[in-house]
Structure 1
Amino acid sequence: MKAIEITEPNAVRIIERPDPTPGPGEVLLQIDTVGYCGTDLSTFRGRNPLVTYPRVPGHEVAATVLGDGGEAGDWKAGESVLVFPYTECGACASCFAGRPNCCQHNQTLGVQRDGLLAEQAVVPHAKLMRAEGLSARELALVEPLTVGAHAAARGAVAEGEVVAVFGCGAIGLGAVAAAANLGATVVAIDVDDRKLSIAEACGAAISVNSSKDDLAARLSDATQDHGPSVVIEAVGLPETFRAAVELVSFAGRVVYVGYAKQPVEYETKWFVMKELDIRGSRNALAADFQSVIEMLRAGRVPTTEIVTHETTLADAPKALEDWSAAPGEVTKVHVRVAAS
């Protein structure tokens, strides 16, 4: 079978691998659609410290069950599924705390272990999820949207609050949609008017292009000078890390889901004076997946606008190269494997 391999930084190619065979407790999948993640882009650029090379990317997956190796539950051939891409050790502090999404020894598909950007794959049956009624495009969007939804959950977003979201990529859009679904007034912040338009379609009540508008003034107007109750940072820049702390309300919550690529210096008085809750957000829980599935079923997420580029397996290497060359033009790339 064919698969995509990031061989080393700035080198991606199609490779041939043996067809996989499921063992006991495993399910054989035909891969239908895989979304490229920002993590895959970082891997291609050589900027992902969690990755060793070569690496097959792919953890945003829509697939069809082909069969199993026995002892795999009630999965039937022909069922459409998505894949839960994380592992948990069950023996670290986070697992004991009931938060396996941040397992100390987690291995995400396509990051610490090979992913599923291939024609077929074998996965443990416990890592499959049903989402009846969703298309392949929607199934492949569940995971990235869920990472954003988990950030909203970490922020304990409540009805009536004002929530500001920095960054309107796929993860930020998931945070926007989830916070709006919880009844918050969402302020979407980006430097790209096209992405802000998508954020509005996801439920943002206010959009701010921070390269053109006075962000502090806009947030002040939206909150009667208090600042947003929750700020979710989904960009990963030192300036947005700092802005989250500076702009959030007193007694507010800041959630970091982006990764800053360099150390961040703060004016630490705001941590204490505002008595802030500053929370990290990593991956997602099964409950977050279910909430996003329900949002997609209800038509609350404009999937055709989020997926800005579609390609085939044969052209997947070039699509990754093109994304790296012009990242601002892309919100989400889907590789339609089954159509290749």
Structure 2
Amino acid sequence: MKAISITEPNQSELVDIPAPAAPGAGEVLLKVRQVGYCGSDLTSFRGLNPMVSYPRIPGHEIGATIEQLGADVPEPWVKGQKVLVSPYTSCGKCAACKAGRVNTCKSNQTMGVQRDGAMTEYVVVPHEKLFTSDKLSLEEMALVEPLTVGFHAVARGEVTSEDTVVVFGCGAIGLGVIAGAAARNARVVAVDIDDEKLALAKRCGATDTVNSMNEDLHERLQEMTDGEGPNVMIEAVGLPATFKACVEEVCFAGRVVYIGYAKAAVDYETKYFVMKELDIRGSRNAMPEDFDAVVRHLESGVFPTDAVITKTVSLEDAPAALAAWSENPGEITKIHVKF
């Protein structure tokens, strides 16, 4: 069968690989229909993902149909059903799993990162990793997983309708944060340096926007919050400057949530941690309840799916699309590969 393989840094190609074996007990064979490229796929292509070895088949943002059921797969799963997939694993034994936070399992292996992904015609997964919706298209299903990362960050920030939430970055993950915070009826301030991305953030639920290239971020945030600072700061860029700005701009007793990794060491003024008694939290992957929340949000029809998906390409054109994204990352929000 056909698959996309990142064979080495800056090189991907269409390859032939063996079809998966028949699904075992509790497993399902999926016919892959639509897969989104993730930012982790881009870093893998560029040779910057320390968790990836080569060759690697990318892909964990999945819209598929059930092709075959293994033994002991319970209802409601049936052949031909549209599904999406949670691409993570959990060991059930580490401290995180014992605490119920399986999204950050010490031994997690995400599809397309630590193990091969779904940028291929067929894939076998445990039925426990499936989600479905009668209302969503396969295109929307392939958009669920990246949005769950943002929804999980919002949950980590314990966002409520009483909060002003600042989101640094309006890429695919940042838009998920914005949509998740908006779904909780918070005031959402999107911060970016691209006016087009800020306009899209508005469509995703941002109530306010700040172009930090042209405006004084501190002054704007002080104006919006009567001099107190925002209640929650969520970082979805990965720059030392925005990591630092989170602790500097958040209010006293505020919450800071970091999703990505800073691309260089961060030189903090740590007095803010103590003076403000901040809650500083990481956010990794997503929980099953985040998938349920995103499915409900997309079912409501308020999310601008067509605007967020920048382009859709064929499997044959997927390697070229990945290379083009690497050349001009700022021009792309989300690429989908349609099978």
Summarize deviations over 1:106-160 as a string: whole Å, max 9, x none: 0000000000000111111111111221011110110000000000000000112
Partner of 1:61: 62
Corresponding residue number in structure 1 for 2:102: 100
Per-residue CA distance 1:215-239 (angstroms, 9 max, x = gap): 1111111111111000000001111
Mapping of residues 176-215 of structure 1, within 5 Å: 176-215=178-217
Deviation per CA, 1:79-98, whole angstroms, max 9, x where unpaired?
00001100000000010111
1:33 is matched with 34
* Contact 1:151–1:175, Cα closer than 8 Å, also in 2: yes
- Structure 2: how far apart are the matches of 1:208 and 1:128? 38
Query: Which residue number corresponds to residue 254 of structure 1?
Result: 256
Identity fraction in percent: 58
Q: Would the aligned equivalents of 1:35 and 1:335 in 2 still touch at CA under 8 Å?
A: yes
| SS in structure 1 of the partner of residue 214 of structure 2 | coil
Write the mapping of 1:1-340 to structure 2, written as runs, cut at 5 A.
1-21=1-21, 22-74=23-75, 75-337=77-339
Which amino acid counterpart does residue 3 of structure 1 have in structure 2? A
Say whether the 8 Å CA contact 1:311–1:334 is kept in structure 2: yes
Report the AA paired with residue 114 of structure 1: D
Q: Partners of 1:52 and 1:314 in 2: how far apart?
A: 23
- What SS does the aligned partner of 1:259 have? coil
SS at match of 2:241: helix
Moved more, 50-59 or 120-129: 120-129
Shift of 1:289: 0.6
Give the Cα–Cα distance (whole angstroms) in 1 for the partners of residues 119 and 136 of structure 2: 20
Q: Say which SS state the counterpart of residue 265 (structure 2) adopts.
A: coil
Match of 2:117, SS state, is: coil
Superposed structure 1 runs of 4+ greater than 4 Å apart? none
Secondary structure at 2:125 match in 1 = strand
Q: Which runs of 5+ in 2 are unaligned?
A: none
CA distance in 2, matches of 1:193, 1:27: 44
| Alignment partners' CA distance in 2, 1:145 and 1:212 | 28
Q: TM-score, normalised by structure 2?
A: 0.98
What is the rounded CA distance, in whole Å, between the counterparts of 2:194 and 2:134 in structure 1?
Answer: 34
Tell me how far apart the structure 1 counterparts of residues 305 and 91 of structure 2 sit (CA, whole Å).
Answer: 33
Report deviation, 1:300: 2.2
2-side partners of 1:224 and 1:16: how far apart? 60
| Distance in 2 of aligned mates of 1:261 and 1:55 | 23
Between the two proteins, the alignment pairs up a number of residues equal to 337
Alpha-carbon offset, residue 23 of structure 1 = 2.1
CA distance in 1, matches of 2:223, 2:91: 46
Please tell me the root mean square deviation across aligned C-alpha atoms, in Å.
Answer: 0.8
Q: In structure 2, how many angstroms separate the alpha carbons of the residues matched to 1:121 and 1:335? A: 15
SS of 1:4 mapped into structure 2: strand
What are the ranges of 5 or more consecutive residues in structure 1 without an aligned counterpart?
none
Aligned residues of 1:200 and 1:207 also touching (Cα < 8 A): yes
Superposed CA deviations along residues 236-279 of structure 1, whole A, max 9, x for unmatched, are 11111001111111110000002112211101111111111000
TM-score between the two structures when normalised by the length of structure 1? 0.98
Q: Secondary structure of the equivalent of 1:188? A: strand
Distance, in Å, in 2 between the alignment partners of 1:166 and 1:260 is 13
Q: Distance in 1 between matches of 2:150 and 2:177?
A: 4
Cα separation, 2, equivalents of 1:132 and 1:217: 46
- Residue type at the aligned position of 2:35: V
What letter matches 1:64 in structure 2?
A: T
Tell me, what secondary structure is at the counterpart of 2:45? Answer: helix
Q: How far apart, in 2, do the equivalents of 1:38 and 1:65 lie?
A: 27
- Measured in 1, the distance between the counterparts of 2:40 and 2:263 equals 13
Q: Displacement of 1:195 after TM fit?
A: 1.2
* Alpha-carbon distance in 2 for matches of 1:152, 1:51: 27
Alpha-carbon separation, structure 1, partners of 2:88 and 2:52: 15
